[in-house]
């Protein structure tokens, strides 16, 4: 059965206000046209829906049954229209982001602050994940973006956009402060307890590759779940750890940890936005993407 949706819409207003005249006024139509639509709907469905009298209209049992379904559908559509209208003006909506710890602290918090100042009514939802977890959430449609560090391992419809770079450094606590006066080789580093993120993280794979380039096999004496756990472990002399330089600066200034130079340079890493190119972003998410990428919010994008 292929019934014209407009008939259902007319029926909704006629049944809700129990008046064909009121329905015509609200629809910007006239009473004869509304009556004609109702007659056609009754013909299509093969049953009587409305009982007409000088006081207006009332519903038959079949009309009551139909209205219980039409009411839900029409009001859901009205709500959707209102939400879309609000999102076009960026008065409503939400943006969800899967972020790694390093990306969150080095770049994302600042971008979130800028977005919130421009669009205070938009909700921001952040999940703090490892890079693989953030990409899994993106593939599953649970977040709009992943903001993570390289290497990302993004494949298929996932597209990686570099947002900025950062440098990681090796740091140690007071017990290892003497090492700050010399350059340590990676081979010599193997003689000291090492703190790394877990093997399931892309950061671990990054250092695994770095050590392999020098024919060494990396080994963690202590594994941390997130980057922000490494600093207190280092402060308490549980070993040496690699940290993004911005995350270590305050502790370095206070003399709580010490920078240990390495003979072999640590390659620069990048913070990336990863998005699913097969999905269409909401208006709010598109505006957040512009801020992430350093574009002017509100400007047209191709």
What are the structural domains of the chain? 5-88 (1.10.10.10), 94-165+270-292 (3.40.190.10), 168-267 (3.40.190.10)
Q: How confident is the model at residue 239 (pLDDT cuts 50, 70, 90)?
A: very high
Q: What pLDDT does residue 91 have? A: 58
Q: What pLDDT does residue 268 have? A: 92
pLDDT at 87 over 70: no
pLDDT at 302 over 80: no
Q: How confident is the model at residue 172 (pLDDT cuts 50, 70, 90)?
A: very high
Kindly state the DSSP code that residue 175 receives in the 8-state scheme: G
pLDDT at 299 over 50: no
Q: What pLDDT does residue 298 have? A: 53
What is the pLDDT averaged over residues 108-127?
Answer: 89
What is the pLDDT averaged over residues 229-248?
Answer: 92
pLDDT at 83 over 80: no
Q: What pLDDT does residue 140 have? A: 86
Helices (H), the chain: 5-17, 20-27, 31-45, 61-88, 101-103, 109-118, 131-139, 186-189, 202-213, 227-235, 245-253, 283-292
Kindly state the DSSP code that residue 107 receives in the 8-state scheme: I
| pLDDT tens digits along 251-273 | 999 999 999 999 999 999 999 99
Q: How confident is the model at residue 82 (pLDDT cuts 50, 70, 90)?
A: low
Q: What pLDDT does residue 177 have? A: 92
Q: How confident is the model at residue 27 (pLDDT cuts 50, 70, 90)?
A: confident
- Rank 74-83, 231-240, 276-285 by mean pLDDT and report only the highest: 231-240
What is the pLDDT averaged over residues 90-117?
Answer: 86
Least confident of 104-118, 121-135, 258-272: 121-135
Q: Please report, for residues 7, 8, 18, 48, 81, the alpha-carbon distance to residue 38 in angstroms, rounded to integers and kept in the order given.
A: 7, 9, 13, 10, 25
* Cα Rg, the chain, nearest whole Å: 30
**Of residues 163 and 88, which shows the higher confidence score?**
163
Q: How many CB atoms lie within 10 A of CB 50?
A: 22
Mean pLDDT, the chain, whole residue set: 87
Q: What pLDDT does residue 301 have? A: 45
């Amino acid at each position: 059965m292929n019934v014209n949706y407009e008939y259902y819409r007319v029926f909704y207003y006629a049944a809700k206000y129990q008046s064909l005249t009121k329905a015509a006024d609200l629809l910007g139509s006239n009473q004869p046209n509304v009556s004609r639509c109702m007659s056609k709907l009754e013909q299509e469905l093969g049953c009587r829906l409305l009982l007409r009298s000088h006081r207006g209209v009332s519903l038959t049992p079949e009309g009551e049954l139909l209205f219980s379904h039409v009411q839900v559908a029409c009001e859901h559509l009205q709500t959707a229209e209102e939400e879309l209208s609000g999102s076009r003006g960026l008065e409503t909506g939400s943006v969800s982001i899967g972020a790694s710890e390093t990306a969150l602290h080095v770049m994302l918090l600042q971008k979130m602050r800028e977005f919130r100042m421009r669009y205070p009514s938009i909700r921001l939802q952040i999940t703090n994940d490892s890079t693989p977890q953030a990409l899994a959430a993106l593939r599953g449609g649970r977040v709009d973006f992943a903001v993570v560090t390289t290497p990302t391992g993004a494949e298929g419809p996932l597209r990686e956009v570099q947002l900025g770079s950062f440098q990681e450094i090796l740091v140690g606590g007071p017990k290892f402060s003497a090492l700050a006066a010399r350059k340590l080789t990676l081979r010599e580093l193997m003689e000291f307890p090492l703190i790394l993120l877990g093997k399931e993280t892309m950061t671990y794979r990054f250092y695994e590759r770095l050590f392999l380039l020098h024919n060494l096999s990396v080994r963690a004496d202590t594994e941390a779940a997130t980057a922000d756990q490494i600093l207190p472990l280092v402060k308490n002399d549980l070993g040496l750890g690699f940290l993004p330089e911005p995350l270590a600066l305050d502790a370095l200034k206070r003399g709580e940890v010490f920078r240990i130079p390495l003979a072999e340079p640590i390659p620069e890493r990048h913070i990336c936005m990863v998005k699913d190119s097969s999905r269409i972003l909401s208006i709010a998410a598109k505006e957040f993407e512009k801020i992430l990428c350093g574009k002017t919010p509100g400007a047209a994008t191709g």
